[in-house]
Chains A and B, each alone.
Chain A
Amino acid sequence: MKLLKLVPDNTNIKFLKWRIPFFVVSILLIAASWALVMTKGLNYGVDFAGGLEVRATFTQSAEAPVAELRDDVEALGYGSPVVQRFGEDNQVSIRVRLPDEVAANQEAAQEAANEVVSTLQAEYPDFRLDGNDNVSGKVSGEFRMTAVYALLAAMAAIALYIWIRFEWQFGVGALFALFHDVSLTLGMFALFQLEFSLQIIAAILAIIGYSLNDTIVVYDRIRENLKKYRKMPLPELLDLSVNETLARTVMTSLTLFVALLPLLLFGPASLFGMVAGITLGLFVGTYSSVYMAAPILVWLGVTSNSFVPEETVADVQEKKARGVV
């Protein structure tokens, strides 16, 4: 049986030759992502913005009356709702960010939730309530804080681990690659205005973990080659390492991608944002392992001596005594 080889043996792609243009492009993309997050903003779901979200199915209709729903809910006077199709054509999610004076009063917020549901139930006989979330401003504020802490803590802890296992340059490189992945994912969510919820934070943390798999594979090979080829110039050595591990990088990303694709296409609607985030991060992460994590080592001055233990004074004296030197 002839086996499938996605990446031919002994590739010799000069990745590092283009490191400066690619690096500039990456920096620009990071800047563009943050600019998007700042200007367009993230489309916060109830987890982070507070307010209420109602999910419903119109069991007897082929299509949910999205425009009418928007008017019906707006007429209640809690502001303009976000009404989106959610899953099937006859399913919707209705998000209302309550006015501050209502959101501040928990009883009023409850009242508002009940009013939205009962109004729609009366208006549409085939309205089936699939679920509703009601998050007070206090809780959503806490979610925002914990999300930021979790992301920072994960990046710091992982960079620290890489530093301990490799060298500080590798820690910085991994951290930079992670920052790149997180930034671009956030940028995409701002660009396409996908709902940004707690699940997306989970997705980003998963991306941080898995994007690093590729980085570690490349770093591990760089370390091995640094010990093996002491005289090879660094850019050449990095190219060799990336090429040697290319088949692995492509294959591991591909297996993850084919596993996620059906979930993205046929999976539960409530998971779409999360799975989209992970899939997106998968591509960004693979790219950053090759084009961010490796080239940055050149600038940070990794040398082939990085992994040779420094001789202590005692070692030197012992060698002298034995007449080795």
Chain B
Amino acid sequence: MLDFPTWRKVWLWSIAIIAMLATLPSLLSATSVRWPDALPQPMVNLGLDLAGGSHILLEADPAAVAAQRLENMEENVRSLMRNAEPRIRIGDVSTRGGQLSFILDDPSQMDRAREVMLPSINGTGLVREWDLTMEDGNRMILSPTADGTDTAVNDAMESAIEVIRKRIDELGTREPTIIRQGDTRIVVQVPGLEDPDQLKALLGETAELEFKLVDQNALPSDVAEGRAPPGSEIFPYAASSDFAGSNIAVRRLGGIRGDNLTGAQQSFDPQTNEPVVNIQFDSDGGRRFCNLTSENVGRPFAIILDGQVLSAPNINERICGGTAQISGGFSVETANRLAISLRSGALPVELAVIEERTVGPDLGADSIRSGMLAMAIGSLLVVALMIASYGRFGVYATIALVINILMLLGIMAGLGTTLTLPGIAGFVLTIGAAVDANVLINERIREERARGRRVVAAVETGYKEASRAIYDANITNFIAGVLLFLFGSGPIRGFAVVLVIGLFTSVFTAVTLTRMWVAAWLRKARPSDLNL
């Protein structure tokens, strides 16, 4: 028990020193001394509750993804049938009940129709995306497979993360964290943000831009009441537009989407000096926009953003230069935001903010200061109590405690974990509980001496007998800590991390290191009695 060969001492000290060295980059970053770039850079990250910043939890609605997918399929099928050679005529197209169903004018074209749709049904991935059934000899029904819908939701989430990353990068903030959580959620954490509202507005905007022809035959009274004529749909005007509060009817099909953009900038209209957004199409988008405007000169078309009409200007002439201008009662700020959103692409799915937590930078700094002060006073009290109660053995416990704190910080830095506000409480708890092991050991040694054991035997029995309870207690704490980590979120996880790492460092320093020091002292001083 008290036998420490040299290799073992070297080994134990190496562990302690390496773990403590890992705190240096973090500690030096508060001073002007620079840690050499060539060396590894372990750092303790500060959580948002200490550094200030925003935590936003976004959730997508899978039903919206499925609905969008069905709509795309409808357009796809219509164009496939139209472009087939010879053309396949279909009718009674419906998307009710989450299925696409239609009838063939000529039932003998059934096999041909199936052949045309086959690539779309099978999809591009490994799973079949649609089930095709036939009814009454002339009706075809396409229903989405569960696998297909899952894949679509998954793809939408993955690209949503990319879009969010691009948008946040445009804000010029440092190191955002964007993580997928579960099937339909995304966590966004942005430290040290000046204006969290700007971020939220940017994430809340789907930025799906559409250009659709206005249905000029719709009766104004129907439109006002929200009733759409066949083949058309009703959209409300955006709150910022000149016609806010009223509706407009547009043709359901035949419009184009603004997802083929190469650029978007905020600018000013040369005539009215109103803030506008200039957009540039890629070649494909430019061609389609050119076609749309060429075929409809003199008619109005609606510019629709996220289901709201920004404006519905007349097409005065065909626009084939690959650029267009969007107006709609913008302020400079909203125009700028729209430009950012359009540049980074539309979100493939609408995301709702379901949890938001923001901490100002001043509060975080105050928390660190008062937390550190409390930790320092607490440590001093613990140390005073230990030395007063156990003398030399208390001094060993104190040195172990200091090494413990530094190792804990060092390992946290090495693992790149995050220190949160509850994590500070975890530190204090670790300081208070780390000396538990020393108390157990020292009390046991005291007891063994009182029973008349000689010094070396008492120390040996003390460490041996106390270890059992120490390990049992640490394992139960470990269980609680791990469950806390599994069930907890953000700041609470930070607490769990400190507790769990602290258990390991505490056992190492309070049991193993102190035993090494006590053994060395016993060997050298050969005391005949212990002042304990």
- Report whether B378 and A1 are in contact in the complex, using a CB–CB cutoff of 8 Å: no
Q: Are B477 and A55 in contact (CB under 8 A)?
A: no
- Contact B468–A199 (Cβ < 8 Å): no
- Are A134 and B355 in contact (CB-based, < 8 A)? yes
Question: Which residues on B sit within 8 Å (CB–CB) of A254?
Answer: 385
Q: How far is the CA of A274 from the CA of B473 in the complex (A)?
A: 22
Q: How far is the CA of A268 from the CA of B420 in the complex (A)?
A: 12
Judge whether A255 is part of the interface by a CB distance below 8 angstroms: yes
| Contact-residue size bin, chain A (C-beta under 8 Å from the other chain) | 35 or more
Q: Among B362, B377, B483, which residue has the most Cβ atoms of chain A within 10 A? A: B483
Q: Report chain B residues within 8 Å CB of A162.
A: 476
Residue numbers in B under 8 Å from A19 (CB-CB): none
B432 touches A248 (CB 8 A): no
Chain B residue at minimal CB-CB distance from A88: B366
Which chain B residues numbered 344 to 364 have a C-beta less than 8 Å away from chain A? 352-360, 362-363
A128 vs B363: C-alpha distance when bound (angstroms): 10
A interface secondary structure, majority: helix
Which of B360, B366, B473, B496 touches A213 (beta carbons < 8 Å)?
B473
Q: How far is the CA of A136 from the CA of B371 in the complex (A)?
A: 30
CA A57 to CA B361, docked complex, whole Å: 13
Residues of A close to B375: CB separation below 8 A: 262-263
Question: Are A260 and B378 in contact, CB atoms less than 8 angstroms apart?
Answer: yes
A220 neighbours in B (Cβ, 8 Å):
468-469, 472
Cα distance A133–B55 in the bound complex, in angstroms: 9
B469 with A134: CB separation less than 8 A: no
Instruction: Tell me the chain B residues, 443-483 only, with Cβ under 8 Å from chain A.
Output: 443, 446-447, 450, 465, 468-469, 472-473, 475-477, 479-481, 483
Contact between A258 and B378, CB atoms less than 8 A apart:
yes
Q: Which residues of B contact A113 (CB under 8 A)?
A: 356
B210: CB under 8 A from chain A?
Answer: no
Q: Smallest CB-CB separation from A132: which chain B residue? A: B358
Q: Say what secondary structure dominates the interface of chain B.
A: helix
In chain A, what residue has the closest Cβ to B438?
A: A255
Tell whether, in the assembled complex, residue A1 and residue B391 are in contact, meaning their CB atoms are under 8 Å apart.
Answer: yes
B492 touches A199 (CB 8 A): yes
Q: Does B419 sit at the interface, judged by CB under 8 A?
A: no
Known: A3-B391, A263-B428. A268 touches B360 (CB 8 A): no
Are B483 and A252 in contact (CB-based, < 8 A)? no
**B381 lies within 8 A of A5 (CB):** no
Contacts of B491 in A (CB 8 A): 198-199
In angstroms, Cα B385 to Cα A247, docked, is 13
A-B contact pairs, 19 of them (CB 8 A): A4-B388, A6-B389, A107-B204, A136-B355, A138-B354, A154-B480, A157-B483, A210-B477, A213-B473, A216-B476, A247-B446, A252-B435, A255-B382, A258-B381, A259-B432, A268-B421, A270-B49, A271-B371, A271-B422
Name A's B-contacting residues (CB within 8 A): 1, 3-6, 9-10, 55, 57, 106-107, 110, 113-114, 128-136, 138-139, 143, 146-147, 149-150, 153-154, 157-158, 161-162, 165, 198-199, 201-202, 205-206, 208-210, 212-213, 216-217, 220-221, 224, 244-245, 247-248, 251-252, 254-263, 265-268, 270-271, 274-275, 278
